[in-house]
Amino acid sequence: MKAEQQFEILSDGVEEVLPEGALLERLRQAEREARPLRVKQGFDPTAPDIHLGHTVGLRKLKQFQDLGHQVVLIVGDCTGLVGDPSGRSKTRPQLLREDIDANASTYLEQFYRVLDKNPEPPRRPVEIHRNGDWFGGMGFMEVLRLASQFTVSQLLERDDFAKRFQAEQPISLHELLYPIMQGYDSVAICADVELGATEQKFNLLVGRELQRLHDQPPQIIMTLPVLPGLDGVQRMSKSLGNYIGVTDAAANMFGKVMSLPDGAMALYWRLVSGVDRAKLAEIEEELADPDSHPMEMKKRLGMQIVTLYHGAESAARARADFEKQFSRREVPDDLEVFSARQLAPESLTIVDLVVASEIASSRSAARRLVEQGAVDLDGTRIASWDSTVDGRVEHVLRVGRKMKRYVPEGISKRAGSESKSGESQESL
């Protein structure tokens, strides 16, 4: 495939490519020289499993692999001991070497949930390194020489370091070394391209500078969007507990997708569903249609994600089990019915609904209930207080032990209250 066609594929969905125009030129050079680009991404094994947030980069690497380029994965068994300070407001707790090693051993199989382990030519097998292979043999004087190539003021230009410094929050010396360590990984494997989340931009730029100092062509930087976690706000993270692991059981994975706020669906479809561009355009059009049903769209998303990691049969079973579990919930026929008068039904939030039900006396009280995990809509726990609700159809609202049925204005309350629990589910 010509360099221009490759560039169109590889630049799609990327936040930023630096320097501008460099990726296309490097692809053209690789085409002239009949050689693959060496494309790098690093993963610190700070937890046993990788999650969907990690797969954003892995899916872009898969595109490079499919185009015949050399994917190089760095398992950061040394950088993991330091802990990446990107996006952190305080020093990470340091892990023990045995924890890092145990976590690293689980990563290798999980990478191949997205990448091909035994690809057919011209695609290439993944190259995997631990950065302990080069850092483990470095003497103290070598570390000093490496550190001498940067100034403290350069490192403090990093946004998260600058904020902590201005707030007089401690910055440990080993944290300042982290960007240099990650950057040296690029030198060690002669990277042409490095991928990373948007918050990794500083580290990726350090890699370019170190390569220049070591007489290597500086790598091209490609930054990728950050996937929000189950709350739809904070980035997906094991430490925050808001993640979907690629090794999660099919039923658990489907259930977690169903707990996503509606507003996060478009981003999940775009970043981690694996659908092609034509299908994605159709889905985005459906999501924008005010007549589309968010719960059904979410079920389709859950099916798609579970299929990627467990297969279509497991995905279908997970959906069926979820729906059966919901229909088995004890939803009394004579639930108290309420509506949300004077509010536009197409733009309700979960807070609007809880206040309209009179279970909470104020919006702030309703928000606290959502944040405490006490609010459940149609059998799904609501994780974010700004989750939207389709107010044009019936819903069963549960807050703690209290349960009420929401019925839109204009629908017979008697008809709503006489619906059987199973029938109510089928209408959703």
Half-sphere exposure of 68 (CA within 13 A, CB side): 12
Tell me which residue of 142, 114, 137, 115 sits closest to 127, measured CA to CA: 115
The answer to whether residue 234 sits within a structural domain is: no
| Residue 163 pLDDT exceeds 90 | no
Task: Give the end of a domain, one of 328, 347, 376.
Answer: 328
Residues 374 and 319 in one domain: no
- 219-223, 225-229, 281-285, 326-330: the lowest-pLDDT one: 326-330
Q: Please tell me the predicted confidence (pLDDT) of residue 253.
A: 92
CA-CA distance, 404 to 417, in Å (whole number)? 10
Tens of pLDDT, residues 39-50: 999 999 988 889
Total count of domains within the chain: 3
Tens of pLDDT, residues 202-229: 999 999 999 999 999 999 999 999 999 9
Q: What is the CATH number of the domain that holds 153?
A: 3.40.50.620
The answer to whether residue 191 sits within a structural domain is: yes
Residues 58 and 200 in one domain: yes
CA-CA distance, 230 to 215, in Å (whole number)? 44
Are the CB atoms for 350 and 375 separated by under 8 Å? Answer: yes
The answer to whether residue 276 sits within a structural domain is: yes
- Does the CA dihedral 237-241-243-249 come out positive or negative? positive
Q: Please tell me the predicted confidence (pLDDT) of residue 424.
A: 33
| Residue 260 pLDDT exceeds 50 | yes
Pairing of strands 70-75, 16-18: unpaired
Half-sphere exposure of 83 (CA within 13 A, CB side): 20
Residues 299 and 376 in one domain: no
The answer to whether residue 189 sits within a structural domain is: yes
Q: Please tell me the predicted confidence (pLDDT) of residue 416.
A: 37
Q: What is the CATH number of the domain that holds 379?
A: 3.10.290.10
Residues 50 and 198 in one domain: yes
Are the CB atoms for 15 and 267 separated by under 8 Å? Answer: no
CA-CA distance, 65 to 3, in Å (whole number)? 14
- Give the model's confidence band at 378: pLDDT under 50 very low, under 70 low, under 90 confident, else very high: confident
| Residue 428 pLDDT exceeds 50 | no
Tens of pLDDT, residues 2-36: 999 999 999 999 999 999 999 999 999 999 999 99
The answer to whether residue 241 sits within a structural domain is: no
b/e sequence 299-309, b meaning 16+ C-beta within 10 Å: bbbbbbbbbbb
Q: Please tell me the predicted confidence (pLDDT) of residue 93.
A: 64
Residues 270 and 395 in one domain: no
Which span out of 54-68, 87-101, 106-120 was modeled with the highest average pLDDT?
A: 54-68
- Widest CA span in the chain: 81
Residues 186 and 304 in one domain: no
Neighbouring C-beta atoms of residue 120, cutoff 10 Å: 6
Residues 388 and 322 in one domain: no
Half-sphere exposure of 350 (CA within 13 A, CB side): 30
Task: Give the end of a domain, one of 287, 309, 328.
Answer: 328
Structure tokens given for 267: 């981003």
Residues 167 and 64 in one domain: yes
User: Residue 47: which domain range?
Assistant: 3-224
Residues 122 and 205 in one domain: yes
The answer to whether residue 63 sits within a structural domain is: yes
Task: Give the end of a domain, one of 328, 362, 378.
Answer: 328
Residues 159 and 67 in one domain: yes
The answer to whether residue 371 sits within a structural domain is: yes
CA-CA distance, 163 to 2, in Å (whole number)? 44
Angle at 45 between CA 226 and CA 160, to 5 degrees: 45
The answer to whether residue 87 sits within a structural domain is: yes
Sequence-distant (≥ 6) Cβ neighbours of residue 414 within 8 angstroms: none
Residues 28 and 166 in one domain: yes
Residues 79 and 62 in one domain: yes
- 89-103, 136-150, 266-280: the lowest-pLDDT one: 89-103
Sequence-distant (≥ 6) Cβ neighbours of residue 131 within 8 angstroms: 42, 74, 75, 76, 77, 78, 79, 181, 185, 188
Using a pLDDT cut of 70, give the percent of the chain over it.
91
- Give the model's confidence band at 394: pLDDT under 50 very low, under 70 low, under 90 confident, else very high: confident
Q: What is the CATH number of the domain that holds 288?
A: 1.10.240.10
